[in-house]
Structure 1
């Protein structure tokens, strides 16, 4: 494949974006950019520094001395905040619960969007998030919008959290995911929405391999 594409994969929480995007990037030998991890990293730092999570000015100040970087690993990628490994810390239920609030702030979205656009300027990248196809990479050659039922997404998160040793309640997870969907879809800045030229892929009844195969077929046509 001569053209190094920009591939945008959007969708709500736990739709399978990151898992699928990693595999596609690996198959194409592309860069993988987990934008959700960036927002989680800022949320983690804000919680650590006891910054009020909807205080845009305070978050802007926090961002001014925050360096977020990724280090490729065989089993995925390491996430660093000011050279501190936060790969596991940003995946805790506490961070998951508050990330939508932080992600809705103008200073956070502007700073991270600019960083994401710089990473993608030369193509050869698979980027997943909630506003990639609409805001971050509006001219991406491939746009995918992944969805799954709230029940299925809660079950996925439930299994992930249990595997990490977190005590979780399935019904509570369903409520939190539904609430997060509402927050993401209704925020004033870059809300979660399907781009007009994005292809919808429902992952509810599909395995990861089936989703990857389906998206690879779409990419090959480009």
Structure 2
């Protein structure tokens, strides 16, 4: 049996307050008291892995070792079949940092355009199948760990559509919705129910808190 989390503090290996809030809401019913690595002043480790699993484990292990508590990290991204699984672990890196109104942010339209340009170079009949992946890694200070993988199958479209998503959402059409609306055209509550992150969390909850 997989080692299980007990009620108590769980470090979420992130410095993003939005991600902490989202994960806390998902795990609160099971007695987990989530605190962020950022609030503990923990450094962000270099994500040197070449897979989602490797990067998630790097972050979870670093947070667990530094805090002395169990830690949870996620790594996610878009994999396009015709591009050999790219951008994959470099999903965010393809959206180069730009300056918007004085604050650095990622240019996601640039990233979407880069993917589209590469697909168009392959020809009009190129397979546009893609999937969002999410890996959740749990790590304990003694080195034990567990990994949960989720995915959402779909296809890419162009031009971008919708205003409710972020990242590559405006060009990703999930198969679970009948292949018509992009993630950015779907209400957030509906998107979260079918997303790659929802799939991974369902597996974590079943394994860690199930009967």
Query: Do both proteins adopt the same fold according to a TM-score greater than 0.5, normalized to the shorter chain?
Result: no
TM-score, normalising length from structure 1? 0.27
Higher helix share: 1
Higher strand share: 2
TM-score, normalising length from structure 2? 0.28
Max Rg structure: 2
- Greater relative contact order structure (CA < 8 Å, 6+ sep): 1
